[in-house]
Amino acid sequence: MNPKNSTRKLLIEYYNKYSKMEIKDIFKFLYQSYFGCNHMVTSINDVIEKLNIELHGCQINEEDEIEILDGGYARVPLAYLHRGLSVETFAKIFFASAQKESEAKNRLETGLKEVKKLIKEGGLPYSLEVYEKELDKWKESGYCAISHSEAYHQNYHPSYRIISEKYFPFLELLIQIDKFLEKGNAIIAIDGGSASGKTTLGKTLEEIYDCSVFHMDDFFLRPEQRTSNRYAEIGGNVDRERFLEEVLVPLSQHKNINYSKFDCSTFKLSSREEVIPKKLVVVEGVYSMHPELAGFYDISVFLDISLSLQRERINKRNTPLVANKFFNEWLPLENRYFNEMQIKRNCDFIIDIDTFTKS
């Protein structure tokens, strides 16, 4: 994707949607695109307090949807709070999205040049003279944080927060998690092809919810289990029996977990460790949705990735020798499991990773 064309397209779409906006609203759009929300954040508690005040005091359009900005951020409407996303979860992902962007100023100035070019071409109906005058004033301030114009407030009643793109694919999932946690505990399975982002999603959920996370990679087959008969089984490339016994059954009985992890360096099990399960438990990894395990989960997620993106990621993160083992051994086994056991179809959420991956 050509970043310049992306900026231009987004600016035109933005004006077409909000034709009564003023020049400072374009400045705000660009500021949020590249600086995100770092100027507004002090603490989680402060964010929660302000969200609650705004939620009960502003006009919220229930039909508002996410608006993609130009630099890895989006405006997520407070309407998501009415759809089931908790104030605490919204505050956490907003707070986590506030980070220092090292190239923000350069990207902002590139975007401002695109605005000037659009005005000259008639793509944006503003006076070039007025634009340059307003820009000079803003530049002198050091491109400080800027508010929407009064006209924008009166006509469009903005009510949103700026959220990082890493959370875009999972907002509906977070809503479902919050609904479960409001009533009690929840166990989630994250399945999907190698390199689809299962571990990353597990870490993201851990950051948001401080949950317990278990990895199917810790249940690789031990050497004595790696027989031709075992590999002939659909979904046989993991010790699901031990995972069931040591993790899922105790979880279902509300007991502490006492389990061993498979050590890939020694091909042996590590010493046992005890885990006190938290309110939310996440299980991530291929084979986590095997039919023998699937009934233990409250929510299931399948991360769908194209073969081309999968190969690109596997080659990038592994040596050629290990990558070849993926392509020739492990991927055929997991694909057989996905296809013959219809894993994707049996999951509550199917998230297309390619859709949210930058080209």
Do 156 and 210 lie in one domain? The reply is: no
- 201 lies in the same domain as 334: yes
| pLDDT (0 to 100) of residue 38 | 61
pLDDT at 75 over 90: yes
**Domain range for residue 103?**
3-164
Q: What is the CATH number of the domain that holds 321?
A: 3.40.50.300
Helix (H) or strand (E) holding 155: helix 150-156
Question: Where does 18-73 have alpha helices with state H?
Answer: 23-35, 44-57
pLDDT score, position 43: 85
Q: Give the model confidence (pLDDT) of 279-309 as tens digits.
A: 999 999 999 999 999 999 999 999 999 999 9
247 belongs to a structural domain: yes
Position 177 in a domain: no
Are 191 and 85 found together in one domain?
no
The secondary structure element, H or E, covering residue 268 is strand 268-269
306 and 242 in one domain? Answer: yes
Specify if 41 maps to a domain. yes
pLDDT at residue 358, as a whole number? 62
Domain boundary among 135, 164, 193: 164
Query: Span 326-341, mean pLDDT?
Result: 96
Q: Is there a single domain that holds both residue 61 and residue 110?
A: yes
pTM exceeds 0.85, yes or no = yes
Give the residue-averaged pLDDT of 74-79: 94
- Looking at the DSSP bridge assignments, the partners of residue 212 are 281
Q: How many independent structural domains does the chain possess?
A: 2
Query: Do residues 266 and 147 share a domain?
Result: no
Q: Tell me what pLDDT residue 313 has.
A: 97
Give tens-digit pLDDT for 19-30: 999 999 999 999
Q: Which of 133, 164, 195 is the last residue of a domain?
A: 164
For residue 202, the SS3 value is helix
Report residue 3's pLDDT band, with 50, 70 and 90 as the boundaries: very low
Measured between alpha carbons, how far is 86 from 282 in angstroms, rounded to an integer? Answer: 19
- Reported as a single tens digit per residue, the pLDDT across 193-227 is 999 999 999 999 999 999 999 999 999 999 999 99
Q: Would you give the distance in Å from CA 222 to the centre of its chain?
A: 33
Question: Mean pLDDT across the stretch 93-103?
Answer: 79
Residue 96 and residue 14 share a domain: yes
The fraction of the chain above a pLDDT of 90, given in percent, is: 84
Question: Which of 97, 131, 164 is the C-terminal boundary of a domain?
Answer: 164
In a domain, 350, yes or no: yes
**Dihedral in degrees, nearest 10, Cα atoms 79, 82, 85, 87:** 90
Whether pLDDT at 4 is above 50 = no
State whether 140 and 260 are in the same domain.
Answer: no
171 within some domain: no
Residues 108 and 159 in one domain: yes
**Neighbour count for residue 86 (Cβ, 10 Å):** 18
Give me 116's structure tokens.
């000037």
3-state helix, strand, coil in the chain (%, to 5): 55, 15, 35
* Predicted local distance difference test score (pLDDT) of residue 41: 72
Q: Is 176 domain-assigned?
A: no
How many C-beta atoms surround the C-beta of residue 125 within 10 A?
A: 9
Q: What is the pLDDT of residue 294?
A: 98
The neighbour count for residue 54, using CB atoms within 10 Å, is: 15
pLDDT at position 2 is 39
264 assigned to some structural domain:
yes
Work out the average pLDDT over 134-160: 94
How many CB atoms lie under 10 A from the CB of residue 117?
14
Q: How many CA atoms lie within 13 A of 13 on its CB side?
A: 11
Residue 267 lies in a domain: yes
If you average pLDDT over every residue of the chain, what do you get?
Answer: 93
One-letter amino acid at 2 equals: N
Judgement on whether residues 344 and 195 belong to the same structural domain of the protein? yes
Mean pLDDT of 236-259: 97
Note the pLDDT of residue 183. Answer: 94
Shared domain for 141 and 252, answered yes or no, is no
Q: Which of 348, 317, 20 shows the shortest CA–CA distance to 173?
A: 348
pLDDT exceeds cutoff 60 at 153: yes
Of the two residues 245 and 358, the one the predictor is more confident about is: 245
Give the contacts of 97 (CB within 8 A, at least 6 positions apart). 36, 37, 73, 162, 163, 164, 167
Q: How much is the average pLDDT of 256-262?
A: 97
Does 66 lie in the same domain as 95? yes
Among 103-107, 157-161, 187-191, 339-343, the minimum mean pLDDT is found in 103-107
**Is a pLDDT exceeding 90 seen at residue 5?**
no
